[in-house]
A = this chain, B = another copy of it.
Amino acid sequence: MEKTLGELAKIVEGRLAGDPTIVINGVNSIDTAVDGDITFAVDGHISEAEKCKASAIILPSTVNEFPLPAVFVDNPREVFIKLIKLFTPPLQIKRGISDKASIGANVTIGKNVAIMPFAVIDDNAVIGDDVILYPHVYIGQHVKIGSGTLLYSSVTVREFCEVGKNVIVHSSAVIGSDGFGFVTKNGKHIKVPQIGNVVIEDNVEIGAHTGIDRAAMGSTYIRRGTKIDNLVHIGHSCDIGENVLVVAQTGISGSTKVGNNVTFGGQTGVVGHINIGAGSVFAARSGVINNTPEGVFYAGFPARPHQEWLRIIAASVHLPQILKKIRKRQRLENTEK
């Protein structure tokens, strides 16, 4: 794959500064780019970009002068994603149903699918067009998978769950495992049947080793556009709103409702049965134990406004000395008495 810088500037509809005949044959990050690569920089990294070894750079149109060949655009990140796709043709996936896959009774399968060896589709499942199932995927009874959805190796989707269109689920994720529900009687734990399901809406992405438990009754929801990282736990009957970001190793306990466009930093914990207002951000390792309003930036455990938490953390460094002073004063006062 080769393009001239002039061709690329046209493709991304940017303003070219430099020789249009320069040949570009790869995309790379600022620090690893070599001759022949194109890279990008955003505000705060412009001076760093001046020293890079790429043959050309995508820059924000707010930049006026630059010593290297450049293409100026409104959104360098977005443009760069286009270029990555241009220079990296997608992996070759053979279409068709492998004769080593296992297809149950009364299964409906759409057009142009790729069902790889040892994938299992159980009875009464419905698989949309263009779906890709990697090896060792298990699709349970009565499951529905929307068109264009991609399930990597060893993904499980348990019975009656529904996965929307253009969803990506990474390897070994589990959708629809039983919620953790027990009634304790005389010290023994009796299982509460978990007869609900999980509904994953369109354009969701779910990370490796993430588990989303089925509802006891009704559904656990992951709403459209939400992206969940690796090793995340979503408890039964949660309702995770649209365009939410959940970073790795976060856990959200059962029946909690999360508004749209919330971001949870990594290793956050959220208790069950609460409401998280839309548009909020929780810093990594937040521990959320109460309802929270819309549009807040919280941190710490228990989670509180980020600035407040920063002040507590900053003050706590002085705690040993505060204690020392107070004790000294105490001794003085005791002596004076």
Contact = CB atoms under 8 A, between A and B. Distances in A.
A267 interface: yes
B75 A185 contact: yes
A67 interface: no
A216 to B, nearest CB: 7
A174 B171 contact: yes
A81 interface: yes
Q: How many copies does the complex hold?
A: 3
Interface in A73-129: 75, 77-78, 81, 84-85, 88, 91-92, 98, 100, 102, 116-118, 120, 123
Interface stretch (A6-14, A57-65, A315-323): A315-323
A315 B311 contact: no
Nearest to A330: B325
Which of the listed residues A91, A230, A235, A284 has the most CB atoms from chain B within 10 Å of its own CB?
A230
B138 A153 contact: yes
Interface residues of A, number: 101
A192 B230 CA distance: 16
A152 B177 contact: yes
A47 interface: no
A285 B266 contact: no
A325 B326 contact: yes
A242 to B, nearest CB: 8
Contacts of A136: 118, 120, 135-136, 138, 154
A134 interface: yes
A332 B333 CA distance: 15
Given A156-B154, A315-B323, A193 B229 contact: no
Interface string A229-271: 1110101000000010101110101000000110000110101
Contacts of A158: 152, 171
Contact of A301 (B153, B211, B249, B285): B285
A252 to B, nearest CB: 9
Given A231-B211, A233-B231, A319-B319, A178 B170 contact: yes
Contacts of A287: 284-285
Contacts of A190: 78, 81
Interface in A298-337: 301-302, 304, 308, 311-320, 322-323, 325-326
Contacts of A301: 285
17 contacts: A77-B183, A117-B120, A120-B136, A152-B177, A154-B154, A170-B174, A174-B209, A209-B211, A229-B233, A231-B231, A249-B251, A249-B269, A266-B269, A267-B267, A285-B301, A302-B313, A316-B316
Shortest 4 CB-CB distances between A and B: which pairs? A138-B153, A102-B117, A177-B208, A156-B171
